[in-house]
Amino acid sequence: MSMSYSVYAQPSDFIALKKKGRTIHSYFSGTHIEFITNTGAYRNALINRIYNDTLYLQEFEVRVLPTTFGTYIRDTVGSYRFKYHYNQVASLGPKKQRFNWSGSGSSLMGGGILLVVGSGIVYLADRDNFSPGLMGAAAVLTGVGYLLNKSGSKGIVPGKKKYTLEYIDTTP
């Protein structure tokens, strides 16, 4: 006795992240995505569906709640549904780096500004102890900090540095 089975599957659209024309990641229904929209909204959500250039997302709100025994549990307190056109994705997920260049740049910039202001106060109060070399070095540190802060981790930005986000329609 022979048996035959038929399986019907509906093709699913997907989004492909490409670098220099080569796919480096694909986003399908059921996968997780983390991005910032062009309006500045941060989304860390599950893709429920991709259809007609639109991402249908479900984001879960998880909170840590105390129990009566003095311990804590993680509980999902709600979920929110969003839909975005794939062109509204301004930045995809954080880049995987070991060192936070942006945070270091902010520290350098803050310290440099503090030294420049302090040198200015010394110049006004006691010009004999003023060091133009210290003030110049502080200004250079401020500039280096600014550049490090700007070059810090902004995630993968489609349209820049040869990254593109492409909608792939697989429906007949």
Statement to judge: residues 57 and 76 lie in one domain: yes
Predicted confidence at residue 164, as pLDDT, reads 85
Predicted confidence at residue 129, as pLDDT, reads 86
Predicted confidence at residue 104, as pLDDT, reads 83
Predicted confidence at residue 10, as pLDDT, reads 60
CA distance 124 to 139: 18
Question: Residue ranges of the chain with pLDDT lower than 50?
Answer: 95
CB-CB contact of 56 with 45 (8 Å): no
Statement to judge: residues 113 and 51 lie in one domain: no
Statement to judge: residues 118 and 145 lie in one domain: yes
26-51: per-residue pLDDT in tens? 888 889 998 888 888 888 899 999 88
Statement to judge: residues 107 and 60 lie in one domain: no
Predicted confidence at residue 84, as pLDDT, reads 92
| Structural domains counted in the chain | 2
Predicted confidence at residue 150, as pLDDT, reads 77
Statement to judge: residues 74 and 128 lie in one domain: no
Statement to judge: residues 55 and 138 lie in one domain: no
Statement to judge: residues 146 and 162 lie in one domain: no
Statement to judge: residues 78 and 28 lie in one domain: yes
Q: Which residues contact 63 (CB under 8 A, 6 or more apart)?
A: 74, 75, 77
Statement to judge: residues 19 and 35 lie in one domain: yes
In whole angstroms, how far apart are CA 84 and each of 22, 52, 56, 109? 24, 11, 7, 36
Statement to judge: residues 68 and 29 lie in one domain: yes
Predicted confidence at residue 94, as pLDDT, reads 61
CB-CB contact of 52 with 12 (8 Å): no
What predicted TM-score, i.e. pTM, was given to this entire model?
Answer: 0.60
**Per the domain annotation, does 119 fall within a domain?**
yes
Statement to judge: residues 87 and 50 lie in one domain: yes
Predicted confidence at residue 9, as pLDDT, reads 57
Domain housing 69:
14-95+154-168
Predicted confidence at residue 117, as pLDDT, reads 92
Phi then psi for residue 133, to 5 deg, are: -65, -40
Q: Which residues contact 22 (CB under 8 A, 6 or more apart)?
A: none
Structure tokens at 106: 């902010």
Statement to judge: residues 64 and 28 lie in one domain: yes
Predicted confidence at residue 21, as pLDDT, reads 85
CA distance 170 to 96: 31
